[in-house]
Amino acid sequence: MPQTNISEHVLETERHRTFYLSAGPEYGPLVILTHGWPELSLSWRHQLPFLGAMGFRAVAPDMRGYGQSSVYPHHADYSQELVVKDMLELIDSLDREKAIWIGHDWGSPVAWNMASHHPERCYGVASLCIPYSTIELGLESLINMVDRSVYPEDKYPAGQWDYMRFYEENFQKATEQMDANPFNMVQLLFRKGSPEGMGLPAATASIRQAGGWFGGLPEAPDFPRDEDVVSEADLNFYADGLKRNGFFGPNSWYMNHEANAVFNHEVVNHGVIEIPALFLAARFDYTCESVASGLAEPMRDKCVRLSEKIIESGHWMAQEKPREVNRELVKWLVRELPELLA
């Protein structure tokens, strides 16, 4: 497969600035990849050239609050409704009617919301780790889906989503802990999955009890880099971006659960998604656990043309297992959207 260069672009509108990376022919079928917390467009570095070499125009933006895109001062500036407007501006600027939307982590509800609110702008939708009809419904709905066989309510009232409660109750403390050492923070986070935690409560279930992300420490501890997930150069790039902008914007995505739930009431077709949909579950992602739990059941009820595959990875799937992710993406595209490859 030929190598495809990645180029940098900036979209400036009256309301927002979007920086994005792109690869592939300018007039190829459009794929837009939306990253999650606390990442950057760089997180799709393994998928962009692959999709570009297949003939797609692959585009990955820095989401609002991240990297070289606009940063805002209020929590309400990071609602899903506003992020979706950013994506509509992006696809319009590319002079396209439709795109394939691929999301991960907080980028997943963005992709799902494009499909549920604007299906006319979508060829298909794919998500890594986060099933449809979960986080976009708000935190209370997520807590109602907790597997109580793993998270007894008396001990883990918010289940694996306890860290989200911590943001709501201690936002300044959480953000200061992360801002104190962004390099150590991302170095600690970007790690491959392991079967050792299967069936056990995720670490994110005890954040409030521990007094914060790092057991009450003022900053992230220094752990060795996991070279199977991120290179030293890429780690420095992530850390520089987060140091420049801080964690206020990224963490504010967690402060809009109620607004996001209201936005969900505006879905079309009663939230049923009829376009091709792909869900890649991470077997060793114990916070967003969807293999053994029922977290993905609402998605199965609402996605008419759903394909699913389990990837033997942790949460950072696109970086940890890029070949497997790329293989499943192309298999799905060939099977469900062959007209785009003609």
Q: Distance of CA 300 to CAs 78, 133, 136, Å?
A: 28, 10, 16
Element (H, E) at 281: strand 273-282
Say if residue 98's pLDDT is above 70.
yes
Q: Report the side by side order of strands in the sheet with 303-311.
A: 6-12, 17-23, 57-61, 30-34, 99-104, 122-128, 273-282, 303-311
Residue 262 has pLDDT above 90, yes or no: yes
* Residue carrying the six token digits 């104190």: 180
- Note the pLDDT tens digit of each residue in 188-233: 999 999 999 999 999 999 999 999 999 879 999 999 999 999 999 9
**pLDDT value at position 342?**
75
pLDDT-derived band at 328, boundaries 50, 70, 90: very high
Calculate what percentage of the chain has a pLDDT beyond 90: 97
Residue-level pLDDT at 215: 87
Q: pTM of the predicted model, to two decimals?
A: 0.97
Task: Answer for the pair 24, 55: CB distance below 8 angstroms, yes or no.
Answer: yes
pLDDT at residue 70 above 80?
Answer: yes
* pLDDT at 76 > cutoff 70: yes
pLDDT of 1 above 50: no
In the predicted structure, residue 3 carries a pLDDT above the cut 60: no
Q: Looking at residues 151-165, what average pLDDT do you find?
A: 98
Would you call 97 exposed, middle or buried from its count of C-beta atoms within 10 A (0-12, 13-18, 19+)? exposed
Decide if pLDDT at 81 tops 80: yes
Closest CA to 257 of 109, 72, 107: 109
What is the C-alpha separation between 131 and 139, in angstroms, rounded? 14
**CATH for 6-340, options being 2.160.20.10, 3.40.50.1820, 3.40.50.450, 3.20.20.70:** 3.40.50.1820
Query: What's the rounded Cα separation, in Å, for the pair 88 and 209?
Result: 40
- Return the domain boundaries, the chain: 6-340
Quickly state the pLDDT bin for 4 (edges 50, 70, 90). Answer: low
Average pLDDT along the chain: 96
For 204, the token pair is 């994110």
Give mean pLDDT, residues 294-314: 98
Residue 2: predicted pLDDT:
43
